[in-house]
Structures are given as C-alpha cells and as structure tokens.
Amino acid sequence: MDGIAPLPLVDVPQADDALRAQIRVFLRERMSALASDTRPRSWLTFDPEFSRALGSRGWLGLTFPKEYGGGGRGAFARYVVAEELLAVGAPVGAHWIADRQSGPQILKHGTEVQKQRYVPRICRGEAYFCIGMSEPGSGSDLAGVRTRAVRTETGWKLNGQKVWTTNAPHCHFMIALVRTSGSPDDRHKGLSQMIVDLSLPGVVVRPILDLNGDAHLSEVFFEDVELSEDALLGAEGSGWEQVLGELAFERAGPERFYSTITLAESWLEWVRERASPSDAEISLIGKLVAHISTLRAMSLSVTALLVRGDSPAIEASLVKDLGTEFEQYVPDAIAALVAADPDLVVPAPLMRMLASVTQIAPSYSLRGGTREILRGVIARGLGLR
C-alpha cells in the first residue's frame, strides 16, 4: 500500500495495565453520585474538584517528566487511565485538554520558564487549557486564521476572535493559533502558537448553548490584549507545523471511540435486567464488542507509533474517522432496538441518555477535524491527488 503500512498489533504493558485496579476503586466511590444520563458528556463536563483529586493521586501528567511534577511514565500508562475514566463517563473536562495536548505541546516546544510555570500546575489538576483553532471564517480551512498578534515594546498585542472553543469560560489559558506575520493569503506561513491568559483585560468569553442546552462550547474575543514576550510558544512562524504535530495526539486516543460507551453500558445493563434478550439485542452486543476491540487495537497501535517518535498523522485520521463512525452507530442501533417494540417499557433515564447522545452525535465527526477533511488527509496518504 502506498504511504501507509498495516498497523502492527501491540499490547498494553502489564505494569501499565496494573493501574486499572486502583483507578476503578477510586471511580466506584466517585461515580455513584453522578446521574447516569450525564455520563456521556464525560470530557465536556467541567469539574475542577474531580481533576484535583486525580492530580493528587498522580494520575495527571502521567507521561510528563518527574522534574515538572509528572509521572515519568509511558504513553500506555496514560492510555489506561484515560480509558478507565472514559469508560465510566467521568467528568474529566477541566483537565482533559491540558493533560492530553497542551502539556505535551509546552514540554515539546516551550521554554524552560514556560515548562516550570505551567506543567506542574497541569499535573496537580489546577491549570486548565483550551484550544484556540477555529474562527468564524476559518473552520476546516484552518490556515485562514485572522486573529493576529503584533509585536510591541513589551511583547505582543492580540486582536481577533476564536469560536467553538471547548469550555473556555472555565479555562485559565488558551493555546491559540494566530497570525504573527503576513495575511490569510499566505496560508500556512506566518502562523504562531500563543499561550493566552484568559483573565487578561480585553479577553471576553461567551458561552454558546448547544442543541441539548449544554454550554460546553464558547466564543472568545480578543481586543488589544497585551501579551508578554513569552506568550509565544515555540518558534515564531512555526505554528502550523506545531499544530499538525499536536493533532495526532488529539485524533487517535480512546476518546475517539468511547464517546458513546456509557450509553452502550447503560443499555446493556437494562438488557441484562430483562429476563430474555432478543436475538437482535444479543447480536448488537456482539457487534459492539467486535468493533470496539478492533478500534482499540488500532488506537493502541497508533499510540505505539507515537511513542516511537513517528508522526502517524494519516493512521490517526483513519482511527478517528472509524472511531467516530462507530460512536455515531451506537445511538442509531440502540434507538432501532428500543423502538422495535412500541410496548417495551424502557426506563426514562436511559431514553433521556439516548435522546441527548443522538442529538449531539453529529459533533463527533466535526470536532478535531471533520470526516471530510480526515478522508482528504487519508486520500493524500494513500497516494491520491
């Protein structure tokens, strides 16, 4: 095959797998109070107390060096923790982005001062980040960003707007992709990443309600925001390359096929409670197992490539597109089965969960790169174009 070789099978190292037991004990205690129909929100639910509790147990920044407060462990340790959290729909929204990509991005491209300033706080579950990529005129066409940082005597002056930012009203910092030279016509050139303190004067954050009435999305306005010299992350003008490197982490993780797992688990629990499941229900359970097993194996394999230092951008796109297709299939299939018999008595909380997941499911193949963009990336990797 041109460009992409089939993914090799890898297994989670036993030392990392061993983390599961303690996390499950912790989650059993914590999760009992949470209403089941809020669980699919998981990494959209902002709960600083929960994040700090994870931090104090050493479960944040697991892959970060110990000198910055991290766990000094491998990517698979983080994978195991992420998987356990997502599997029960834990409210991980506060630290999720910081732990997944802002921390690694700062460690990779940041100065020593930046690392010391942000990373230990991320590890303690005290510093929350959001990602500033999309703009009103620049969604899939990310290279068209217009938000601009101009050099001043003391640093940078920032003007512009970001949109669809996850949980910005609650976050302390945004890593924003901005233009530091040239114009939108210069496309990938002249872009840089900035760490923006969202408490600075001139920053206005407004929540946007989604179709379920949830307020995890937001828009962020910058008006003459004065940034210090060291707001710049990495090299000036390298923003595009830095963002691309970041996306592989964002696209291949377990959150790309676990988004609807809590719906599947709740449905399964209810199927078990009834004396005799239908053939169609049994079959769907098996289908979920076959798909998740395969997706998990693919996702682990891409993780191994990342560990090796490769940049599996195409493979990650492939996993994300397949994973989100599966996530969207789950509410579709469950709705078909609960509606197969109009006299079936289905618990209202399960139906509420199904309804909200069904409604939000289209977002799974929009966030983090749309299906159509990902398939374009894959096509290029296959040697088309």
Partner 1 sequence: MTDDPYLDSFQKLLDATCSPSIVRAIETGGPHDPLWRALDDSGFVDALVPEDFGGAGLKLDDVFPWFVACGSSAMPVPLGFTMYARAALRTAGCDVPGGPITLATGIRDARGGLRCEHVPWGLVSAWALVQNTGDLWLLPTAMAKRERVGTTNGLAANLHWPEDIGIRCPSIQGDLRSVGASVVSAHIAGAMVALLDRSIRYANERQQFGKPIGRFQAIQQQLSAMAEQVFAAHMAAELGCRADLGLNGFTPRPRDAAIAKARCSDAVVRVATTAHAVHGAIGITQDCDVQLLTRRLHEWRIAFGGEMYWHTWLGRDLLAQHTTVAQFVQRSMTAAPSDEVHS
Residues catalogued as catalytic = 250
Given candidates 16, 37, 83, 250, which one binds partner 1 under the rule CB under 8 A? Answer: 83
Q: Tell me: does residue 342 bind partner 1 (CB under 8 A).
A: no
Q: Tell me: does residue 292 bind partner 1 (CB under 8 A).
A: yes
Q: Tell me: does residue 279 bind partner 1 (CB under 8 A).
A: yes
Of 111, 240, 102, which Cα lies nearest the Cα of 178? 240
Given candidates 211, 282, 307, 344, which one binds partner 1 under the rule CB under 8 A? Answer: 282
Structure tokens at 382: 């296959």
Instruction: Show contacts with partner 1 in window 297-326 (CB under 8 A).
Output: 297-298, 301, 315, 318, 321-322, 325
Question: Applying CB under 8 A, which part among 193-201, 228-236, 278-286, 337-345 lies near partner 1?
Answer: 278-286
In angstroms, how far is CA 374 from the centroid of its own chain? 16
Shortest reach from residue 298's CB to partner 1, in Å: 5
Residue nearer to partner 1 on the CB measure, 83 or 246: 83
Q: Tell me: does residue 376 bind partner 1 (CB under 8 A).
A: yes
Structure tokens at 181: 């030279």
Shortest reach from residue 374's CB to partner 1, in Å: 8
Q: Tell me: does residue 345 bind partner 1 (CB under 8 A).
A: no
Q: Tell me: does residue 7 bind partner 1 (CB under 8 A).
A: yes
Query: Assign residue 337 a region: left if phi > 0, alpha if psi is -120 to 50, beta otherwise?
Result: alpha
Spatial separation of the C-alpha atoms in residues 360 and 366, rounded to whole Å: 11
Residue nearer to partner 1 on the CB measure, 261 or 357: 261
How long is the chain? 385
Question: Applying CB under 8 A, which part among 56-64, 117-125, 291-299, 350-358 lies near partner 1?
Answer: 291-299
Q: Which residues contact 365 (CB under 8 A, 6 or more apart)?
A: 321, 324, 325, 328, 371
Q: Tell me: does residue 13 bind partner 1 (CB under 8 A).
A: no
Given candidates 30, 287, 352, 367, which one binds partner 1 under the rule CB under 8 A? Answer: 287
Residue nearer to partner 1 on the CB measure, 246 or 315: 315
Q: Tell me: does residue 288 bind partner 1 (CB under 8 A).
A: yes
Q: Tell me: does residue 28 bind partner 1 (CB under 8 A).
A: no
Instruction: Show contacts with partner 1 in window 85-104 (CB under 8 A).
Output: 87
Q: Tell me: does residue 294 bind partner 1 (CB under 8 A).
A: yes
Question: Applying CB under 8 A, which part among 136-144, 218-226, 230-238, 368-376 lies near partner 1?
Answer: 368-376
**HEC secondary structure over the chain:** CCCCCCCCCCCCCHHHHCHHHHHHHHHHHHHCCCCHHHHHHHHHCCCHHHHHHHHHCCCCCCCCCHHHCCCCCCHHHHHHHHHHHHHCCCCCHHHHHHHHHHHHHHHHHCCHHHHHHHHHHHHCCCCCEEEECCECCECCCHHHCCCEEEECCCEEEEEEEEEEEECHHHCCEEEEEEECCCCHHHCCCCEEEEEEECCCCCEEEEEECCCCCCCCEEEEEEEEEEEEHHHEECCCCCHHHHHHHHHHHHHCCHHHCCCCHHHHHHHHHHHHHCCCCCHHHHHHHHHHHHHHHHHHHHHHHHHHHHHCCCCCHHHHHHHHHHHHHHHHHHHHHHHHHHCCCCCCCCCHHHHHHHHHHHHHHHHHHCCCCCHHHHHHHHHHHHCCC
Q: Tell me: does residue 261 bind partner 1 (CB under 8 A).
A: yes
Q: Tell me: does residue 374 bind partner 1 (CB under 8 A).
A: yes
Shortest reach from residue 163's CB to partner 1, in Å: 26
Given candidates 137, 286, 351, 362, which one binds partner 1 under the rule CB under 8 A? Answer: 286
Q: Tell me: does residue 18 bind partner 1 (CB under 8 A).
A: no
Given candidates 98, 142, 145, 264, which one binds partner 1 under the rule CB under 8 A? Answer: 264
Residues of this chain that bind partner 1 (CB under 8 A): 1-2, 4, 6-9, 11-12, 17, 20, 83, 87, 258, 261, 264-265, 268, 272, 277, 279, 281-298, 301, 315, 318, 321-322, 325, 372, 374-376, 378-379, 382-385
